[in-house]
A and B are shown apart, each in its own frame.
Chain A
Amino acid sequence: MKFIKGYGLSIAWLVVFSFLVAMMAKHFHHIAVSNEPLDEERGMISQMKSFIPSGSQASFTTNLRDDESSQGAYYQTQFCLCPMVLSDNVSSNGYIISYRSSLAPDSDIAALHQCDTLCRQSGSSYTLLLLCKSKKQ
């Protein structure tokens, strides 16, 4: 009886602990894979829609994956939104915006490249590098 009580409680403890670990692991995994834009990103996206050709369906993701960028079914517009401190071209909320579109591949590659490089140098590259996929008509 003593044996069962001792080990029974230990097993119960392990079960509760495993449940806690599994619950939190699931939550953090959800955080890691979530593509939902943040409110601030939504604000940025509304600003960026002016760059998207009218009539095309635009969707945005913060996950820039190689397999997506190689798909041919979408026009791709890549935005570099960076809390920049090295450039004068800073928007009212502190972000610099530059973009490159596969609709016009040479459109602003230099600006995008500069934004990305300076952004990384200044310590910023996080969710603000967005990819817009515009479905081809």
Chain B
Amino acid sequence: MLLLCLLLLAIVFLSGAICYWLGSTILAGTPLRYIYATVAASVFISLLFDISVVAALPGWSFIVASLLAGAGLLYYEWKKDSAPAPDLSGIFRYRADLYSIVILGLLCYLSYLFIPHSGRWGRWDAKAIWTLHALFLTYPYEWTNLFSPTIAWSHPDYPLLLSSLIAMCWRAMGTTGPVAPCVIAYIVFVTVLLTICTGLGQINRLLALVGLVLFAFANSYIKMAASQGADTLLSLFILMALVLVRQHEKGGDVKLIFLTGFISGFAGWIKNEGIAFTIVFSIVMMWQYKKAPHHVAYYTAGLLLPVLVIIVFKTIYAPANDIMAGQNHNAVSRLMEPGRYKLTGIYFLNNIRHLYPGLLIIVGLVIITGYRRLYDSRLLVIMLMIGTYFFTFVITPRDLRWHLENASDRLLLQLFPSLVYVLLSLVYVLLSLLLESGNG
């Protein structure tokens, strides 16, 4: 219990230090600052935990390292800016209004919808992959058995962020019970909702409410969130990266660009699809920053740590991915088969129709109101991701129909929060433009 308290203290302390570091950015006055700080702190501490497992260090070492990292960041900021002590009085001056009560009520309702789908150990993927990997990390002796071909069915090549978060809690709790994965799944779900809510709330409060209401109709997403898999965590990181892009547009700050690189990079430490996102997102960002080399440098600096971790994991420890290992000269012939495109297209369209019924109306609105008048890099990233998923299915060495049935809905759900955020913000901008031209 002491170790758990120390772990919570380390997360709070490092989050506080990151909050202070973000104090000079445009995020300073928004709740997004706390969300990003907590997520970044948790990810960083889980990475320190992984290092302690690999180096066979004592269980408390990663907590001490986290506290030192937080202290180091605070010292660096104080020394650099000679800034005053952080002003926390705003937190204590908080007064509730009707809007915040309605938001909290919606969170209650969405949590109520979450509970029936949330059971011990989650669905098969959670048990066979994420919590099983977490168990290997919890007991540091011979943890590399995780990569044994004997348990190839548990996909040992999958990245370890979610498993590390679970294992870190288990190590701190001193037990490997079913509560930690369940609580982590809920925290990730709520963080997605809060990010949507605060991200859209920056544009318009009504939009934030509409965003949350859309989630109330997204039963498939809630089910996926409660299943304790890594898809919801990936959807959170994709959403967080795209929300940060909007912050750059409002006022580019190199710290936010660094944070964007950090968040998009760690998306690749969650799932293999996350690596695809890191690549696609980075290409779009580099294109966007092509006239600002120092922005490219800060983005790359943020990307450096997660990419290094992924490279070390993939080259030293993890076996080859089954889809990549199964690629041979047949991949070209699979690309040439029109039937595979047709089947994949049918599954994608059916999934979009079933999973995003509310969003289809918004897509219609965006098209009607004239999307051509705007270029939006965030929507481009989402479209490129859908294209990447599409071609992954086309060239899959597995039985195509089986693969589509088992994975296509999950992959599209990973993009659901980002689509809600981007499309609603686009609708708002386009409607504002229409109203302005109407008035003019």
Contact = CB atoms under 8 A, between A and B. Distances in A.
Contact of B179 (A10, A31, A83): A31
Contact of A126 (B145, B146, B148, B176): B176
A124 B135 contact: yes
A129 to B, nearest CB: 10
Contacts of B139: 120-125
Contacts of A111: none
Interface residues of A, number: 35
Interface residues of B, number: 43
A66 B366 CA distance: 63
B182 A36 contact: no
B120 A9 contact: no
Interface of B: 95-98, 100-101, 104-105, 107-108, 111-112, 115, 118-121, 124, 127, 131-132, 135-139, 141-143, 145-146, 148, 150-151, 153-154, 176-179, 182-183, 186
Interface in A85-100: 85-86, 90, 93-94
Contacts of A84: 150
Given A12-B96, A23-B111, 10 more contacts: A9-B96, A9-B101, A20-B107, A27-B115, A32-B179, A85-B148, A94-B154, A123-B141, A126-B131, A127-B120
A19 interface: yes
A64 interface: no
A26 B31 CA distance: 27
Contacts of B148: 85
B182 A28 contact: yes
Interface in A59-96: 83-86, 90, 93-94
A118 to B, nearest CB: 9
A34 B120 contact: yes
Max chain B CB contacts within 10 Å: which of A17, A40, A83, A121? A83
Nearest to A6: B95
Given A13-B100, A85-B145, A123-B137, A19 B108 contact: yes
